[in-house]
């Protein structure tokens, strides 16, 4: 997977409105721009743009439904995003543990030099 695709995925899930759209689609199984705009404080046109971003990131897929398009979450792609988030979190936890060990060592050295 290239960095550009990962950036697109992270950008897509980084927006609170798009996360709410994903929540609604997961809860209902599907939705249209119209049905989603009725449940969110966003215009239908804005919802359509958000759905386009989610679609480009592979998080949703659309199928024709009369004059509209019905969107569904791609659960495999969403699981991939969750796995990446977990991986990033684990990497940051390891970095923070290293920083803590370094800070503790600096403090111990300072305590020894100051003496009683």
Give per-residue pLDDT as tens, 9-68. 888 988 999 999 999 999 999 999 999 999 999 999 999 999 999 999 999 999 998 999
The pTM assigned to this predicted structure is: 0.74
What is residue 115's predicted lDDT score, i.e. its pLDDT?
64
Q: Determine the Cα–Cα distance for residues 51 and 32; give it in Å rounded to an integer.
A: 9
Query: What is the DSSP-derived secondary structure letter of residue 2?
Result: -
Asked whether residue 55 is assigned to any structural domain, the reply reads yes
| Contacts for 46 with CB less than 8 Å, ≥ 6 apart | 17, 37
Give per-residue pLDDT as tens, 72-91. 999 999 898 888 888 888 88
**Residue in 88, 72, 71, 70 with CA at minimum distance from that of residue 10:** 88
Token pair in block for residue 87: 């991986």
Residue 7 near residue 44, CB atoms below 8 Å? no
| Contacts for 61 with CB less than 8 Å, ≥ 6 apart | 55, 71, 72, 74
pLDDT at 3 over 50: no
Domains in the chain, number: 1
Asked whether residue 109 is assigned to any structural domain, the reply reads no
Q: Determine the Cα–Cα distance for residues 78 and 59; give it in Å rounded to an integer.
A: 6
56 versus 7: the higher-pLDDT residue is 56
What is residue 116's predicted lDDT score, i.e. its pLDDT?
65
Q: Which domain holds residue 56?
A: 3-74
Asked whether residue 25 is assigned to any structural domain, the reply reads yes
Read off the CATH number of the domain in which 13 is found. Answer: 1.10.10.10
What is residue 22's predicted lDDT score, i.e. its pLDDT?
97
Residue 47 near residue 21, CB atoms below 8 Å? yes
């Amino acid at each position: 997977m290239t960095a550009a695709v990962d950036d697109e995925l992270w950008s897509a899930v980084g927006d609170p409105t798009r996360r709410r759209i994903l929540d609604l689609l997961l809860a209902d199984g599907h939705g249209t721009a119209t049905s989603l705009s009725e449940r969110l404080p966003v215009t239908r046109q804005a919802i359509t743009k958000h759905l386009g971003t989610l679609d480009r990131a592979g998080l949703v897929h659309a199928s024709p439904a009369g004059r509209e398009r019905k969107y569904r979450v791609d659960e495999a792609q969403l699981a991939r995003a969750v796995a990446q988030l977990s991986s990033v979190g684990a990497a940051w936890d390891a970095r923070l543990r290293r920083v803590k060990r370094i800070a503790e060592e600096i403090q111990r050295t300072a305590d020894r030099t100051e003496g009683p």
